Each structure stands twice: as C-alpha cells, then as structure tokens.
Amino acid sequence: MSELVTTYKCADGTEFPVTWQHEADANLTWGLEDNHWPGPLRPIDAAVWEGTAARERAFSEAGLPTPSWLPRFLAPHGFVYRQRAEFPDEGVDDLVRRCGGVAAVWEEHCRPRVQEACARLQMAGDDEPVADLLEVCDYAWAKTMVAAVVVISAYRRLSGFLNELFGPEAETWTATLTQGYSNVTMDAAQAQWELAQIASRSAEMRDLIVDGDLSSVQQALRQVEGGGEFLSAFDDFLLRFGWRSEGWEAGLPTWRENPERPLGVIRRMITDGTASPARALDQVARRRQELTSELEDRLRNDAAKLAQFHERLSAVTPYLSVREDRALWQLNAFGSLRSALLRRGDRMGRSGSISRAEDILYLLPEEIERRGSAHGDLLELVEDRKREWKRWSRLTPPAMIGAVEASTQPEGAGEAAEGEVRGMAASRGVATGPARIIRDLSEADRLMPGDVLVCRTTSPPWTVLFARASAVVTDAGGVLAHTAITAREYGIPCVVGARGATERIRDGMVVTVDGERGVVRLSG
C-alpha cells in the first residue's frame, strides 16, 4: 500500500511534504503549535510529541477524560502540529471537590507526581532505555495538563459569566482579574534582581560581574569579600530554577549547565539599574483590585449575581500561580530529560558511536538502543540530521495542514493596512521604540532599555527581558500564553500572534505597539 503524501508550501514557497502515517489524519485540520515550538524539534524531541500511553494514564488517574487533541501531535520535519485544543469540563467539578479546591488539584494531586517524574529522570543511569525516559517526561507534561484543564475551566466560567452580564466590554476583564498574584515566574525574576543587589554592595563584586569573564566569575568571586554570600544565593537560585530547559524541549540548554546565561541577566540588571519585578506586580495587583471593586459596585443591587461573581472569582484566584508553576515544572521535566539523555550521549561518545553527547538529540530511541554502541554509521546519520534540522530552521512552515479550506486562517490572522503588522491585543497601552529582533536568549544582551522586544515566542526564562522592554510583539501565541500573561504582569503593551512580525519588522526600525488594538505600526 502506497503512502499518502500531501505537499504544502512554506512562506517562501519551499515545498513542505507531509507523509501521513494514518490516512484519516489527512482529513483533519492540524494547526502549527508555534507558541511553544516556533522552530523544528530535533528528532528525539519530535519522538516525545508523537505521544505515549502516559498521557491517557495521567488523565485516567485524575478521573478525567483525555482531551481529544491530546493523545497525539504531528511533527513533520520537526514542526509540531495539533488539532484545535478543547478543554472539556467533564469530571472537573468532581476532581476539584475530591482535592479540596482548584489550587489543591495542582498542589496535592499533580505537582507531587510531576516532581517524582523529574527526580526519576535526574537520577536515571546512562543505560536507562530511552523510550522509558521519554515516557516519564511525557507523563510529567501530561500531568501538568490535568491542572490546565481545571484552571482553564474556572477561567472560562468567570469569563462567560462576565460576558453574559456586561457584553463585549467584559472581554478582557477576566485576564485583569487573574493578574497581579505572586507566581513562580516572577519569583525567578525577583531572585535574579536580589542577586544583582547583593553584587552591588561591593565595588569589587560589581566590577567582577559587570566587566569579568562570566565563565570564570564564580571562581573569582570566591576570593573577594561578600562573594561567598552571592555564590550561596546563586547556588540556591540554580537549585530552584536551574533545571529549567529554555523551552519545551530537551534540545535547549538548562541554566545548570550554562550558568553564564543567568549571570549575564544579573549583569544587565546591574548596568541597567532594573527596578524590582515585585514593584511591577504591585501595580498590576492594584488594577485588579480596582476592577474587582468596580464590578462589585455594579452588582451591588443584585445579591444573587454578586454572590455568583464572588464564587467564580474565588475559584479563578489560583489561575496565574498554578499556570506559572505548571510552566516551571514542564520546563524542569524537559531539562531533567535532557540531563538523562546527555548522560547516555556521553557514554555513546566515549564508545565512538557519536562525536559528542548532544548528538544523541538527533537520533530516535530505536536507533540509540539498536545501534548506538556498535555502528559507526550513526556518525553520518547524525550529520545528515543536523543539516536537515538547520535547513528547516531557516524556513517558516505552513500555518495549517490536513483538511485546510482556502478561506481558513490561523487564529490571530487578519488584514493589516500597509505599514502595519496585526495580531491579537494581549496587554493594553501604547509604546514607541526601536524594534529589537531576538531569536533566542543567547541574543538577550542586544535588547536595550526602551526597545520593543520582537520575537517568535517566549518562555518563562525570557521573563527578565520584559523589565527592559517598552513593549513586546510575537509571531505566535494567544491572550493566555506566557508572553501575554507576563506583559500584563509588567504593565507593558503587547501584541501576540502577529504572524510574520519577525520577518516584516527590521531590527532597529522604530515601531509603535498598540496593545489594545493589536496593531504594530511601522515607522521606518
């Protein structure tokens, strides 16, 4: 039986052939998941997203049906596609009752299991079957999605209630009512800021971090007064946040293996005189409290509606803290998987199967297990895969594949006037500044205070850049994505889902970001 192959087009016209393992999939609509994975995954990560039985097990343990889109993603040429996400409410109320609240679903049921999975990956030996490692990581991720179903259900109930009462003007109120709460992502930014304050107590420490070689600065700090306090606090920071991968994949580094990255952030906080992230959180919290009081006043004459508002508002209060803690542990899971894979890769490198530990990321589990220690042709296969990955990394894939009608457009797309880029309004306000195109965190130092951060998407380790930016524009994402949430926490304008922004906006171009209309005006 011949394979079914459909050929689509990349943005530049390059052919994008898709081989369908199941012909029925070609009759479904699959959207590019570029909010989390803007570029192609390496083969080992693509294998994770093809799915394992762990996903259904994670939901079954919680007494929830597995969302229809969750069991399997597609990853042609490494780009992740999935069906439209629907979050069913079935079983949610019962799970919340059994656990004792929305926050408790995460804290008592989900997070301990995710932590256990991460610990298993961190302790895995270099002979652990790779397929088992991928399944453990997949289970950890799926368990965080159980919590996602619960908090999104609470969010939708408040949003629907407000829209029913007040109409379209209530569209953005739920986002405002869930912002300004303490959360682990802002905690990470605050911890780095506090490290910058420790370093600034002594001219010698400050000069070492600002002017020194970051690869050797930790050793140098041991020799200066106050350096021990800084290093102790920095070790605590890495213990808590250093396991995070810089994105939702094992192919990206962690800050444990690359401490120069967070040290570079601390250096910039010192030189920029960055304000405390906690201060920004306080401002957003005041706006939330003001809106809460305003809505209570509008409902004061209807006791039943006021009680319903308070009930729904109480249920959604943990929304932000749970979402961001979930994100931390998702990234921890991939960072932990990375550490386990690199141990196996190091063993393969010593045997001569591959050139270096990271080459394991370009192999599939069965290739590692069947041929990893004895076949020299893995060296050639890895080099071929690297070339392919780099080639696809330079291309923009089709936004949709499968049953795609000519009139279908991805979420966030819309007609833009000449001299504009249009996306989704994600955080209110208007700001003008030079655009800075940042492809990944290795380029973070290029972002100057007052610049407009323009990127494909962001993850929690990017959060500290928001303190420097006057506004944020991303190719991908939605109003509940990390970029939008963090921009609202910092109170800066943000437009997300502005497809093609990183291509149309030139580095250094002056742009005006209107975060309420979802428009970016290009000034030249």
Binned at pLDDT 50, 70 and 90, residue 279 comes out as confident
pLDDT digits (tens, 9 = 90+) for 305-339: 999 999 999 999 999 999 999 999 999 999 999 99
232: CB partners within 8 A, 6+ apart:
none
From CA 408, how far away is CA 400, in angstroms rounded?
A: 9
Average pLDDT over residues 179-200: 95
List Cα–Cα distances, 448 to 81, 271, 272, in angstroms: 34, 11, 9
Average pLDDT over residues 356-377: 82
Task: Show the tokens assigned to 35.
Answer: 């909010």
Binned at pLDDT 50, 70 and 90, residue 418 comes out as confident
Q: Report pLDDT for 2.
A: 63
8 A C-beta contact, residue 394 and residue 470: no
From CA 9, how far away is CA 173, in angstroms rounded?
A: 39
Give the torsion through C-alpha atoms of 159, 163, 165, 168, to 10 deg.
Answer: 150
Average pLDDT over residues 66-76: 89
Residue 374 has pLDDT above 80, yes or no: no
8 A C-beta contact, residue 304 and residue 511: no
8 A C-beta contact, residue 341 and residue 361: yes
Residues in the chain: 524
From CA 328, how far away is CA 426, in angstroms rounded?
A: 22
Q: Taken in order 454, 458, 462, 466, is the CA torsion positive or negative?
A: positive
Average pLDDT over residues 67-96: 91
State how far Cα 34 lies from the chain centre: 10
8 A C-beta contact, residue 503 and residue 420: no
pLDDT digits (tens, 9 = 90+) for 237-252: 999 999 999 999 999 9
512: which strand partners?
432, 521
From CA 386, how far away is CA 363, in angstroms rounded?
A: 10
Q: Report pLDDT for 415.
A: 54
Q: Report pLDDT for 156.
A: 94
Binned at pLDDT 50, 70 and 90, residue 372 comes out as very low
428: CB partners within 8 A, 6+ apart:
172, 493, 515, 516
Binned at pLDDT 50, 70 and 90, residue 405 comes out as low
Q: Taken in order 24, 27, 32, 33, is the CA torsion positive or negative?
A: negative
From CA 254, how far away is CA 243, in angstroms rounded?
A: 6
Local structure of 356: helix, strand or coil: coil
Q: In which residue are the tokens 């004459």 written?
A: 301
From CA 81, how far away is CA 68, in angstroms rounded?
A: 14
Residue 147 has pLDDT above 60, yes or no: yes
User: Please, what are the domains in the chain?
Assistant: 4-129+338-359+367-393 (no CATH), 420-522 (3.50.30.10)
Local structure of 423: helix, strand or coil: coil
Residue 290 has pLDDT above 70, yes or no: yes
8 A C-beta contact, residue 221 and residue 180: no
pTM for the complete prediction?
Answer: 0.92
From CA 61, how far away is CA 99, in angstroms rounded?
A: 13
Q: Tell me the helices (H) and strands (E) count for the chain, helix number first.
A: 19, 13
Q: Report pLDDT for 233.
A: 97
At 241, which amino acid appears?
F
Q: Comparing 90-99, 404-413, 491-500, which segment has the lowest mean pLDDT?
A: 404-413
CA atoms within 13 A on the CB side of 77: 25
